[in-house]
Amino acid sequence: MAKSFASFGFRPELMQGIQDLYYKEPTPIQEEAIPLILEGKDVIGQAQTGTGKTAAFMLPILNRLDAGKRDIQALILTPTRELSIQIAKEVEKLGKHLHVNVLSLHGGTDIDRQLSKLKSTVHIVVGTPGRVLDHMQRGSLHFGRISTLVLDEADKMMEMGFLEDVEQVIVHTPSQRQVLLFSATMPDMVKRLAHRFMKQPPHIKIEGKQKTVEKIEQFYYVVNQSDKTDALVDVLEQEQPFLTIVFANTQVRVQQLTARLQENGFQAQALYGDLSQSKREQLMRHFREMRFQYLVATDIAARGLDVEGVSHVINYDLPNDVESYIHRVGRTGRAGQSGKAISLISPRQKNLMSRFAKATKASIEERILEPGRHLDAGRRQRALEREAHFIELRAKQAKEQQKEKEKEFAPVREALKKKAKVKPGYKKKLARELEELQMRYEKNRRKAEAIAARKAGKTVKPADAKKAGRGKAGRGAKGARPFRQN
């Protein structure tokens, strides 16, 4: 039987915080990691986002925290500012009845404001390695008395080139501190880091499906690139989602897509790396408060976002790697709710999709999209545009052909023009050649006209066509005068 939170012997104030968040029972990573962390061991937790790993390390830290002391007692390093802010928020919620002061230190915000906050009591610091190191070098931060150091999403921190910064920070912490390392994967760099700075840590691995991901329904639609936006609009109309995050792969695509959604009457806002920190925070606040329903984002901007009530995640563009796919999908189905993850893919991306399914041990089925009014209208419009383009192209070709013909006639005409001393027989021969050329030309022209008329919706009756066939050329060389002869 699963353990209960009460079995950990947490303080009543902390149990109250857990209850406030409606956590009923510990998740697998919490069940395994919390007793070891409470014993004071260094621990490696290999678990993905969405498994409840934050509370797994935070609950023991909060349980032993002494709010009466003015020292910083725990430091949590994270790869991104979003994750840092999110962890700080979770600490505030869980530690609400413990009167804990937590500070998030991350780039993109005013360093002076952070400095002034550091002058008041701070018990827990969460931050990105660069900004934390910056404060240490200014002398505004000391970690001489911390009892716990957490390296969260260690693989991401290494991937983002934070190894040196992380090492610098670690060597300035007391040797007796407890080190907790959490990482979705264990590349060599992370293993080396653990080996250097941790004391015989037990390695907890939470395999396969995450508690929350199990409740996510995943499927995809195959659509052409030119149909994608219309398809997205139809999907949104059909799904009637609550809060939705739409992922696109670049900033430009995020901006364009947001504009298109707005044009179609959706309350959409764009979130991407280049926005100022305050703008990003404001956007996230408004999204959480449901002031708008559709957040269009790039991966980096959305890393670590934890918003309750996200019913749908849509991959407008498919990510290239499994990690990003898992991360995106994990934005829905938070806190045990159900969710849907829908991808719009090209036929060639089916292989990639089956790789994601294998890696997540999930079934991601292909579904056929019922074209709604947008996809229908869009396709019709594009078909008309294509047709107009071909008509223009054909007209151009006909003109060119006519020019060519004219060139072909030129020598004959020239010869006829010169009332030179040519043998009578030769003159007749030239006239015959000219007549033949003219007849061929007329025939081709009529054929082209008939095709064009058919395309334009006019039907040419066979009788009319015949009549036309007996036109000028039918009257013989004398009646045919498309070219001037001298």
The site for ligand AMP (CB under 6 A) is made up of 23, 26-27, 30, 49-55, 306, 334-336
Distance of alpha carbon 271 from the chain centroid: 11
3-state secondary structure string across 187-245: CHHHHHHHHHHCCCCCEEECCCCCCCHHHEEEEEEECCHHHHHHHHHHHHHHHCCCEEE
Q: How far is residue 123 from each of residues 65, 84, 119, 120, measured CA to CA in Å?
A: 8, 15, 12, 10
Q: How many residues does the chain have?
A: 486
Phi and psi dihedrals of 382, rounded to 5? -65, -35
Q: Which residue has the tokens 């990510």?
A: 319
Phi and psi dihedrals of 266, rounded to 5? -90, 145
Q: Which residues pair with 204 in a beta bridge?
A: 45
**Which of 21/384 has CB closer to ligand AMP?**
21
**Are the C-beta atoms of residues 59 and 243 closer than 8 Å to each other?**
no
Please state the closest distance from residue 33 (CB atom) to ligand AMP, in A. Answer: 12
Please state the closest distance from residue 30 (CB atom) to ligand AMP, in A. Answer: 6
Please state the closest distance from residue 232 (CB atom) to ligand AMP, in A. Answer: 26
The structure tokens listed for 384 are 């008309």
Please state the closest distance from residue 335 (CB atom) to ligand AMP, in A. Answer: 4
**Which of 184/231 has CB closer to ligand AMP?**
184
Please state the closest distance from residue 19 (CB atom) to ligand AMP, in A. Answer: 11
**Which of 30/324 has CB closer to ligand AMP?**
30
3-state secondary structure string across 391-418: HHHHHHHHHHHHHHHHHHHHHHHHHHHC
**Rounded to 5 degrees, what angle do the CA atoms 405, 411, 414 make?**
120
Please state the closest distance from residue 214 (CB atom) to ligand AMP, in A. Answer: 13
Please state the closest distance from residue 308 (CB atom) to ligand AMP, in A. Answer: 7
CA distance 448 to 454: 10
Please state the closest distance from residue 98 (CB atom) to ligand AMP, in A. Answer: 17
**Which of 50/201 has CB closer to ligand AMP?**
50
The structure tokens listed for 434 are 């000219």
Q: How far is residue 288 from each of residues 245, 254, 300, 331, 335, measured CA to CA in Å?
A: 12, 20, 19, 13, 14
Please state the closest distance from residue 17 (CB atom) to ligand AMP, in A. Answer: 11
Computed over its alpha carbons, how large is the radius of gyration of the chain? 36
**Which of 52/378 has CB closer to ligand AMP?**
52
Please state the closest distance from residue 5 (CB atom) to ligand AMP, in A. Answer: 8
CA distance 53 to 77: 14
Please state the closest distance from residue 211 (CB atom) to ligand AMP, in A. Answer: 8
**Which of 3/172 has CB closer to ligand AMP?**
3
**Which of 274/289 has CB closer to ligand AMP?**
289
Q: Which residue has the tokens 């040196």?
A: 164
**Which of 4/397 has CB closer to ligand AMP?**
4
**Which of 54/244 has CB closer to ligand AMP?**
54
**Which of 174/208 has CB closer to ligand AMP?**
208
Q: How far is residue 422 from each of residues 234, 409, 417, 478, measured CA to CA in Å?
A: 76, 18, 12, 21
Longest dimension (CA), the chain: 125
**Which of 23/272 has CB closer to ligand AMP?**
23
